[in-house]
Amino acid sequence: MKRIFSVVFLIFLLVITSLPAYAAAATNIQIKVDGVVIPSEVDPEIRNTRTMVPLRVISENLGAKVNWSDSEVTLTRGDMQVILKLNSSTAVKNGKTVLLDVKPFIKNNRTIVPLRFLAETFGCNINYRNLTVTVDTEPLFIDGVKVTALQQDFHMTMGSVVNQIKGNANIEAIYNNFVDNKGSKVEAPSDPTWSVQYGTGQYDFLDQEGNSIKRFDIYSLSRSSPEAAPEVHIYDATENQWYLFNDAAKISMYQFIDTATKNGFLTVISNSAP
């Protein structure tokens, strides 16, 4: 009897002492997207052998757009649409119902979702090793050439700041912002000058060797009337053609850059501003 009690007590001790180690592993998981460790306001955790992450990590770093309606969230990227419901074991992918291994839930006022399901749904490769989940997203191709970085030259009154942005989702979002909001062709302004405003500047989409594949310049041109808002133009340097742009698209450009900075995808190459 004593021997049985001793065995049971030993097993109990082993279970108890193993719990802190498991908890530490669950709270020290890193999410790395396109080679960059992504900061998260809520620690990822493991449930039913699945890595669960805050929805913001998915939406911002996989390039998915988010739309909330009550307890239902719709994620869209390209021609793929996914609908998730809190505490539901099913999701809807392009109209088809699929089962989830783990239900989305709320943690610290954040929606937590299964990373592997969404990453693979949006065409990403995902691997788990040594408490690091690595997600590789699909790169952008322009005219058949792979884009590996975006270089932004932000012109100021005195000097300029040159940034390099990586992360395929960031690059694609900025490129699509140009393409989707490029207006009608216009004549070149008589004296275009840079205006020190958020979003203006030069944007170069670079290949693996650092050569420019496509370049857009954003200008805010002052109108004749002081009360009128500046007119926004873009110059397609590849085509040598000017187009109308819009202020909302210019502001979106700043927001994309802010997101890339916040998530660790922006590097300052040079800064000659005083």
Q: What is the pLDDT of residue 229?
A: 60
Q: What is the pLDDT of residue 13?
A: 44
Q: What is the pLDDT of residue 142?
A: 97
- The Cα angle at residue 46 between residues 44 and 52, in degrees rounded to 5: 50
Rounded mean pLDDT of 84-107?
94
pLDDT tens digits for range 174-192: 999 999 999 999 998 876 6
Is 183 in contact with 246 (CB distance < 8 Å)? yes
Q: What's the pLDDT band for 247 if we cut at 50, 70, 90?
A: confident
Is 35 in contact with 27 (CB distance < 8 Å)? no
Q: What is the pLDDT of residue 154?
A: 81
Q: What is the pLDDT of residue 194?
A: 54
Rounded mean pLDDT of 231-255?
90
Question: 93 pLDDT exceeds 60?
Answer: yes
Rounded mean pLDDT of 161-173?
94
Question: Which residues does residue 92 pair with via DSSP β-bridges, in sequence order?
Answer: 83, 97
Residue 220's alpha-carbon distances to 223, 233, 256, in angstroms, are 9, 6, 18
Render the burial of 72-95: b for 16+ CB within 10 Å, e for the rest.
Answer: ebebbbeeebbbbbeeeeebbeee
Question: 242 pLDDT exceeds 70?
Answer: yes
Residue 228 DSSP class? S
Q: What is the pLDDT of residue 190?
A: 76
Name 161's Cβ contacts closer than 8 Å, sequence gap at least 6. 153, 154, 268, 270, 271, 272, 273
Q: What is the pLDDT of residue 261?
A: 93
Q: What percent of the chain has pLDDT over 70?
A: 82
Q: What's the pLDDT band for 273 if we cut at 50, 70, 90?
A: confident
Tokens at 171, concatenated: 């690059």
Question: Alpha-carbon distance 23 to 81, whole Å?
Answer: 34
Q: What is the pLDDT of residue 263?
A: 92
State the pTM of this model. Answer: 0.80
pLDDT tens digits for range 108-135: 999 999 999 999 999 999 998 888 999 9
Per-residue H/E/C for 93-108: ECCEEEECCCCCEEEC
Is 159 in contact with 274 (CB distance < 8 Å)? yes
**Given the structure tokens 């170069």, which residue do they identify?**
204
Question: 89 pLDDT exceeds 80?
Answer: yes
Rounded mean pLDDT of 31-56?
90
Question: Alpha-carbon distance 146 to 66, whole Å?
Answer: 27
Report the Cα 220 to chain-centroid distance in Å: 26
pLDDT tens digits for range 185-228: 999 887 666 554 555 789 999 999 999 999 999 988 766 555 65
Question: 145 pLDDT exceeds 80?
Answer: yes
Please report how the helices 168-181 and 247-262 are oriented relative to each other, as an axis angle in degrees rounded to 10. Answer: 180
Query: Which range has the worst mean pLDDT, 4-8, 79-83, 169-173, 230-234?
Result: 4-8
Tokens at 213, concatenated: 């594949």
Residue 70's alpha-carbon distances to 53, 84, 108, 164, 236, in angstroms, are 20, 11, 18, 38, 42
**Given the structure tokens 């590789």, which residue do they identify?**
136
Helices (H), ranges, 127-233: 168-181
Comparing CA positions, the residue from 56, 31, 63, 82 lying closest to residue 138 is 63
Rounded mean pLDDT of 92-101?
95
**Given the structure tokens 């969404």, which residue do they identify?**
118
Q: What is the pLDDT of residue 155?
A: 73
